Chains A and B, each alone.
Chain A
């Protein structure tokens, strides 16, 4: 197992460096002179020089890169232009809100997808299966930036059950944003569980178990479902990453004070160190989650470790 973990970890390092390089180069993609763009139109020459110096843009590219990487490795993600405080500190305060939202959405998704996917697989091609498939299709086609406002109209304005925005009402604040983000994920998971479980139910070991006297329910829940979960875990992990980007949109809809909203605010104020750091943290979280899912995958299916 330790060899397997080490191998997966080593595979992650070049990717992480690739992300770091791409995020570093973002500032150099700014059309024209980045310092002029950042200082703003009509800025005085000395301000432009100050920005250039503050960002290290007066140094050779290679020096800038080494400087950036070494600082990031030390946990120093730069200083915000807007607040003049450490970018990492800002992220630290916003990160829990985004993670909370991601978990809330995942909870909603699992709550919907498991029963729906299992029923759908057991009663294949029945009306309930067709209904579940239709739901899955609506779920993937319905953009969150439409579904969110519809939920607000229905449950925050017409019935004042949940707050329209913010994170101050505890769990009640979490419900609508989680439903917004959870819908698409639940649609994908329902489809996945249905396909995966339906496939397992046709396997000989299920027939054998039933022939040996195990009830159908036991054969499904004790045997087939376990195996059906392997691909579902991968999809779940990959989709967790999508939740992080989904959060950018959902946080905007519900004024949720997370990392996504911080990113958008910093884009509008051209606070590039903050933009770079937010993107870096989201992308790194994504690859870490994928790494964790690889490990989990190895635990669930021991054959994978041997490959």
Chain B
């Protein structure tokens, strides 16, 4: 325990991440206003006692929209990480365990997907599938599984030749059983680290796609989309361009801290494998 809580990055990351999750879960209880309630007469109003972070271009409470927006961010983040890790680890483990043509095909596909920088592939996919929350999740997972596949394959190659795996095979265990019971438990720790950092990446990518108008569609509150509307009123209502960004930065920083702290606490060698 001391290994974890004695680590500044881990502790501060955990506090920020737990705060983010609590805010998302308790959104209906803690948001001071309905995030979609409009008061057009008071549009672009600056922060005040009544509306701590001000009102947006349609007169909606910015703080309430940021609080509700955390739900979108986390929903996308968790969905992408779960989907990408299941697909990636399954394919990576198969590639590493069976080798041969299966490995060649899977790894060449990962090479191709990795040759799309950043969120380019996600942009391309959302462009053809159409902008929506689900399509953002599909697009980000399509690009996100690659990292898990590489990690899975690498780890499987490492443990495949271990005595206990050879013994399990010699005792007649079938491949799926060997992979599930003997190989996968060994890669849990690096996967947890990768998933934490992946969550930060997915939240950032969702915000970026929404900022570009390719993500969550109005009136659903999303931090990225809030920044897009904020950009239109720079100089007139700067609070619109500031606060959603603070929320994104705190969320991403918390998860990055947590991931970094986990690496240090679990095994610093993971830094090379990530």
Contacts and interface: CB of A to CB of B under 8 A. Distances in A.
Contacts of A15: 111-112, 115
A287 B117 CA distance: 9
A299 interface: no
Interface string A26-59: 1101110000000000000000000000000000
Interface string A211-254: 00000000000000000000000000000011011101100110
Contact of A140 (B129, B213, B256): B256
Contacts of B242: 150
Interface residues on B, range: 35 or more
B175 interface: no
A interface, over-half SS = helix
B144 to A, nearest CB: 15
Given A29-B128, A267-B214, A145 B207 contact: yes
B208 interface: yes
Contacts of A146: 227, 241, 244-245, 248-249
A153 B227 contact: no
Contacts of B129: 29-31
A29 B117 contact: no
A128 interface: no
A249 B249 contact: no
B241 A245 contact: no
A286 B112 CA distance: 12
A149 B108 contact: no
Interface stretch (B28-36, B41-49, B57-65, B118-126): B118-126
A286 B111 CA distance: 13
A22 B212 contact: no
A109 interface: no
A304 interface: no
Given A15-B112, A18-B115, A143 B245 contact: yes
Contact of A282 (B108, B117, B204, B248): B117
Contacts of B128: 26-27, 29-30, 272, 275
Contacts of B249: 138, 141-143, 146
Contacts of B227: 145-146, 149
Contacts of A164: 234
Nearest to B240: A149
B98 interface: no
B190 to A, nearest CB: 20
Interface string B197-222: 00010001001100111100000000
Contacts of B108: 14, 18
A153 B234 contact: yes
Given A18-B112, A141-B249, A145-B211, A153 B117 contact: no
A279 interface: yes
B128 to A, nearest CB: 5
A252 B125 CA distance: 19
B207 A150 contact: no
Contact of A245 (B109, B117, B214, B231): B117
Given A18-B111, A146-B248, A249 B211 contact: yes
A48 to B, nearest CB: 17
A245 B252 CA distance: 19
A127 B235 CA distance: 36
Nearest to A147: B245
B116 A283 contact: yes
Interface string A279-290: 100110011001
Contacts of A242: 117-118
A150 B231 CA distance: 9
B115 A268 contact: no
Nearest to A243: B117
Contacts of A22: 112, 116, 121
Given A242-B118, A244-B117, A286-B116, A141 B253 contact: yes
A19 B116 contact: yes
Considering residues A140, A141, A267, which has the most beta carbons from chain B within 10 angstroms of its beta carbon? A141
B231 A279 contact: no
Given A153-B235, A245-B120, A286-B116, 16 more contacts: A14-B108, A15-B115, A18-B111, A18-B112, A26-B128, A30-B128, A137-B256, A141-B252, A142-B245, A143-B207, A143-B245, A146-B244, A149-B245, A152-B234, A245-B118, A267-B127
8 contacts: A18-B108, A18-B109, A141-B200, A244-B120, A263-B123, A264-B213, A267-B123, A267-B127
- A-B interface, 9 closest residue pairs, ranked by CB to CB distance from nearest: A146-B245, A245-B118, A18-B112, A241-B117, A141-B253, A157-B235, A149-B241, A267-B127, A145-B211
